[in-house]
Amino acid sequence: MPRTDDISFFHQGTLAICGSIDIGEALQECLVFLQRYMPAENITMDYLDPAIPGICSVAQAGFSMLPAGTVVELSEREVAYIESQLSQTTLSNRPEDNPVAQRVAAHVGIDSVFSSAVLHLMTKNQHLGVVAVSALKEGQFTEEHARLLSLLHDPFAVAMSNALRYQEVLRLQEMLKDDNRFLTNELHRMSGDTIIGEHFGLREVMEKVRQVAPLDSQVLLLGETGVGKEVIANAIHYNSSRSKGPFIKVNCGAIPESLLDSELFGHEKGAFTGALSRKRGRFERAHGGTLFLDEIGELPQAAQVRLLRVLQTKEFERVGGTEPIKADVRIIAATHRRLESMVKENTFRKDLWFRLNVFPLTIPPLRERKADIPALVNHFIEKKSHEMKLPYRPVPAPGALERLQRHHWPGNVRELENIVEREIIRNYSGDRDTPLLFAEVAAPEGLVREPAALPAEEGPTNLDAVISRHLSHMMTRTGGKIQGEDGAAALLGIHPSTLRHRLRKLGIPFGRGAF
């Protein structure tokens, strides 16, 4: 039968050990408790890592015998000593009694004599680690102290096991955060880090981006398909105070109506057939960041009502859930549709349109910023060659860029990107020494709309257009370089600042960044 004071000792000791989720704080409580029964001045919880081999401190309280996180390497003899002691509580009242305690003391710079009582923690014959109680004087611990300490074996073993698991969770969490940071940077790099035309065709758009990005206002991006709405949404996010948060995209037109609610707001386990586990929706995932609602004009009426409610209350419930969830999300919506006409036709809710239309930003179609085409072509050649791991960089054939600039571009930048990719593939499978001709842009009927007054073969006759064409050609030839012997200014025989002035006036990109 256990003695009554043993039961009380166990009870109070267990409360001290389990009193805090932080194992350091728990050991501090425990040290204060143990001091009522033994001359404990320090307590550490450590485990043996056979891979080092050495002991690693999990937590500590007292005079810093072994601060948390310390690793002390051990010799084979010292590891063998620990292994020989597993089934008992080791008392060492003189340093020479315990070679491991001596090694630890030397490691932390304690040169005075000391004594310790070491409790080995075991579960199912597996050595979890030790709890070591120490004092800075010799001969401090008795068999009775060892007996009392061993009464606390089980709560210490549970605490040790939880602390190790908790450390593992923190390690994995840090790894996930690191992966997340890496992937976010990769995504950012891949999805529009470079905005071609920001100083030329998109200058006004980018001015507005810089104005609105730091504010938390909603933005509505308008423009034909493929003009770069997502690229601009990215730029707003990465130039805002939310840039470290997530950028989550939803293509409202690509998700079946029956799945929209679950995609946007998430669902609880068992909310519907196939909901095997709880799932967070895109709103929840975008918490602290930006939610990009692409193709907002395709949102079905019922979903428009729910979206409006979330925008008004900033709260939603998961499908099948009752608990309201708050998400701090900035909304950027985009559409190639004329929302105003849709409102008139009653296919888009007027109140939602008002909500979204706080800061409308229209991205001009490519045909209205043709001066950006050479730089875009070079950018896509670079991008695609890199993606395709080409050992060489194809170059456009003479006259090809002019041909591209005469195209009407109904599919905008995306169409240009696809054409560049196709041309590189064609070039790769044919004669790689042939420059990229882009012959296809001139071919299909209706795609190329040459202005009647400017037949393609004659080229422009208006003086500015002729100069613009020539300067664009020179920029392509020199890779945007203005100064130096091989720069465009020297080739044209004019002063570099005069050339820069001309280029700016005509909206022609220059400089290394433009090519």
Ligand X SMILES: Nc1ncnc2c1ncn2[C@@H]1O[C@H](COP(=O)(O)OP(=O)(O)OP(=O)(O)O)[C@@H](O)[C@H]1O
Rounded to whole angstroms, how far apart are CA atoms 47 and 100?
13
**With respect to ligand X, which residue has the nearer C-beta, 103 or 188?**
188
Closest to ligand X by CB, 29 vs 298, is: 298
Q: Which is nearer to ligand X, 92 or 476 (CB)?
A: 476
Tell me the closest approach of the beta carbon of residue 378 to ligand X, in angstroms.
Answer: 11
Q: Are 414 and 225 in contact (CB under 8 A)?
A: yes
227 binds ligand X (CB under 6 A): yes
- Cα angle 410-414-417, degrees, rounded to a multiple of 5: 115
Residue ranges in 152-245 assigned as alpha helix (H): 153-190, 203-212, 229-238
Indicate whether 196 belongs to the interface with ligand X (CB under 6 A). yes
Q: Which stretch binds ligand X (CB under 6 A): 156-164, 174-182, 191-199, 443-451?
A: 191-199
Angle between helices 412-429 and 373-387 (to 10 degrees): 50
Site for ligand X contains 370 (CB under 6 A): no
Is residue 411 a contact point for ligand X (CB under 6 A)? no
Nearest residue (CB) to ligand X, 262 versus 412:
412
Task: Rule CB under 6 A: choose which of 197, 246, 289, 364 binds ligand X.
Answer: 197
When asked if residue 195 is in the footprint of ligand X (CB under 6 A), the reply is yes
Of 196 and 401, CB closest to ligand X = 196
CB of 195 to ligand X, least distance (A): 5
Q: Is 213 exposed, middle or buried (0-12, 13-18, 19+ CB in 10 A)?
A: buried
Give the SS3 label for residue 283.
helix
- Cis? peptide before 53, omega within 30° of 0: yes
Q: Are 69 and 49 spatial neighbours (Cβ–Cβ below 8 Å)?
A: no
Instruction: Name residues whose C-beta falls within 8 Å of residue 24's C-beta, 6 or more positions apart in sequence.
Output: 59, 60, 61, 68
- 105-134 binders of ligand X (CB under 6 A): none
Q: What is the closest distance, in whole angstroms, from the C-beta atom of residue 197 to ligand X in the complex?
A: 5
Written as one string, the DSSP assignment of 310-376 is HHHHSEE--BT--S-EE---EEEEEESS-HHHHHHTTSS-HHHHHHHTTSEEEPPPGGG-GGGHHHH
Q: Which is nearer to ligand X, 208 or 414 (CB)?
A: 414
Residue 290 C-beta: closest distance to ligand X, Å: 15
Contact map string, positions 207 to 226, toward ligand X, x by CB under 6 A: ----------------x-xx
Give the residue, chosen from 261, 263, 294, 423, that forms a contact with ligand X under the rule CB under 6 A: 294
Sign for the pseudo-dihedral over CA of 106, 107, 108, 109: positive
Nearer CB in complex with ligand X: 131/514:
514
What character string, x for contact with ligand X (CB under 6 A) and - otherwise, covers 322-341? --------------x-----
Distance CA(212)–CA(205), nearest Å, equals 11
Residue from 228, 246, 297, 460 binding ligand X (CB under 6 A): 228
Chain position carrying tokens 């007027």: 350
Q: How far is the CB of 297 from ligand X (least distance, A)?
A: 10
261 contacts ligand X (rule: CB under 6 A): no
Q: Does residue 279 interact with ligand X by CB under 6 A?
A: no
Question: In this complex, which beta carbon is closest to ligand X, that of residue 64 or of residue 418?
Answer: 418
Provide the 10 A C-beta neighbour count for residue 211. Answer: 12
Q: How far apart are CA 475 and CA 487, in angstroms?
A: 9
Residue nearest to ligand X (CB): 228
* CA–CA gap between residue 463 and residue 357 (Å, rounded): 41
Binding site for ligand X (CB under 6 A): 192, 194-197, 202, 223, 225-231, 294, 336, 379, 413-414, 417
